[in-house]
Amino acid sequence: MMTKKLSKIDILALVVGSVIGWGAFYLPGQKFLPQSGLINTALGFLIGWIMIYFVQIAYHVMMLNHKDKGGEFSYVYNYLGKKHGFIVGWSLSFCYLTLIPLNASALTLVIKSLIPNFSYIYLYTIVGNKVYLSDLIISTLIIYSFYQINKHGISLSMTFQKLLIFLLVVIVSSLTGIILIKNYNNSEFITNYISNYQFNVSQMLQILAVIPFLFVGFDIVPQVITDLGFNRQFATRMTVIATGFGVLIYNAINLLTALTYSPKAAQHLTWASGSAVLNHFGWLGFLLLAIALFAAIVGGINGFMVGSSRVIASLASYQLMPKYFEIENELDVPVNALKFITLISILMPLLGRMIILYIVDLSSLMAGLTYAYVSYISISLSETRKEKIFCCLGFFVGLSFMLLLISPGSPSQLRPLSFIILLLWILLGYFYYTKLNKYNKSHFHKEKK
């Protein structure tokens, strides 16, 4: 059965939906404005976009030289061998998979913003976070809904994705534009963010350190490379444009918040961006922003479900996971891998949102590792001097992101619990890989006999 190929608009929607999540709406008040202000945040995003561009050139080289499913994983496997391929596949599966329950649990925040005290049937508390049955039901329903959508093929999945991203872009740009027109000469805004502005490298580093986490999603494109309905050379261009859209949306919501609140005032609000819109537009505007947030959250769930299921299926096709996960339905969907991703994503909210946040902190580290691997291989495959230089820069970008997260004294060093979870994930991977090698060797000897 022929499946519909992905268009350039599909790729734009897939990447923007994966890049823009709940953080774009909550971080302006919780992190961006209090820690880095308006201009240093914008500069941090701009530098981050340029740094990611170097990595995207390395991915461009990969997509021109590598035709197999599995994207970064199979690329590294084919050029550096099984061990390095497993490291990247293990990292990618962690990176994509953990972002599904994070976005799903964020959906309850949207509902609680609209319906205060929407928490029913208290179950237990983990790391200070109360877990309610109502929260678990909501996250389960949304994850299962997108399992059903993805099961029926990437064409249906992308139709939903395009609708969601259209709503997101239109609502955010409209609300920000109107508030800017009304308040651009606001004396308090000028005093807080323009007149007293100071260029601060440390503040920009705070933004750069979370760029891999915020931008995880552009690297989903290699996972759907065999589904493209246009020349692969345009895939990189679409990805660059999509991440540029991401930068604009992050900064638009940050500006929207800054036009209403000082950094200190924003920090003391549960949802500063939501409060800003409520002040200017009342409940109608607040509802529209909630719809945009909903679109960002479920767009991320959809994008990472596509990416993670394909990574798992690719690992299976290289005998690094059971062959069961490689099986596809008549619409070329790795349905068993999709079921596995859905099950894990439904179970993770049982740990509570704070534990999920500690786990997701590691996604930046895993992303940086993958960027470094892809860029390293692409250096030798580059056809021009310019490409080779950019791939070298991409390699150092990947290493820099990792160093920002693990170096003692770094403004963005991972929290202790995240390091413990990282150690457990490494040990689990080592144990699994060792057992897998023993199984494959014994299985090989049995077949020879």
Tell me the backbone φ, ψ of residue 129, rounded to 5 degrees. Answer: -105, 120
Parallel, antiparallel or unpaired: strands 129-132 and 122-126: antiparallel
> Helix/strand/coil (H, E, C) string of 399-413?
HHHHHHHHCCCCCCC
Say which CATH topology domain 8-441 has. Answer: Amino acid/polyamine transporter I (1.20.1740)
Q: Which two tokens stand for residue 399?
A: 């290493």
Taking 80 as the threshold, does the pLDDT of residue 29 lie above it? yes
Contact 170, 350 (CB under 8 A): no
Q: Kindly state the tokens that stand for 76.
A: 């590294």
Q: Phi and psi at residue 159, in whole multiples of 5°? A: -60, -45
Which CA distances in Å does 37 have to 185, 193, 229, 402? 18, 7, 42, 24
Instruction: Identify the three-state secondary structure at position 24.
Output: helix
> Which tokens is 316 given?
């299976």
Q: What value does the mean pLDDT of the chain take?
A: 86
Q: Which two tokens stand for residue 147?
A: 């399992």
Q: Would you call 131 helix, strand, or coil by DSSP?
A: strand
Q: Which residues contact 160 (CB under 8 A, 6 or more apart)?
A: 149, 302
What mean pLDDT comes out for the span 51-60?
92
Residue 193 confidence (pLDDT) above 60:
yes
pLDDT for the residue 440: 62
Nearest-angstrom CA–CA distance, 290 and 184: 24
Spell out the domain ranges in the chain: 8-441
Positive or negative CA dihedral for 32, 35, 38, 42? negative
Indicate whether 200 pLDDT > 70. yes
Residue 191, pLDDT > 70, answer yes
Burial 208-239 (b: 16+ CB within 10 A, else e): bbbbbbbbbbbbbbbbbbebbeeeeeebbebb
Q: Distance between CA 304 and CA 243 in Å, rounded?
A: 16
pLDDT confidence bin for 441, thresholds 50/70/90: low
Name the pLDDT band for 2 (thresholds 50, 70, 90): very low
Give the separation between CA 54 and CA 52, rounded to whole angstroms: 5
Mean of pLDDT values over 141-165? 87
User: What phi, psi does 126 have (nearest 5°)?
Assistant: -130, 125
Q: State residue 183's pLDDT score.
A: 77
Mean pLDDT of 323-328: 89
User: pLDDT band for position 16 (50/70/90)?
Assistant: confident
First vs last C-alpha separation in the chain: 39
Query: Model confidence at 449, in pLDDT bands (50, 70, 90)?
Result: very low
Supply angle C-alpha 171, 278, 137, rounded to 5: 75
Instruction: Please give the structure tokens belonging to residue 50.
Output: 């340029």
Please give the average per-residue pLDDT across 131-145, as a whole number: 92
> Measured between alpha carbons, how far is 123 from 115 in angstroms, rounded to an integer?
20
pLDDT at 54 over 60: yes
Q: What value, to the nearest 5°, has the Cα angle with vertex 212 and ends 51 and 259?
A: 85
pLDDT of res. 143: 92
Q: Tens of pLDDT along 284-295?
A: 998 899 889 888
- pLDDT of 3 reads 53
The answer, yes or no, to whether residue 341 has pLDDT greater than 60, is: yes
Q: Residue 387 corresponds to which amino acid?
A: E
Please count the CA atoms within 13 angstroms of the CA of 361 that sit on its side-chain side: 20
Report the pLDDT value the prediction gives residue 227, as an integer from 0 to 100: 73
**pLDDT at residue 186, rounded to an integer:** 80
Nearest to 158 by CA among 78, 224, 249, 87: 224
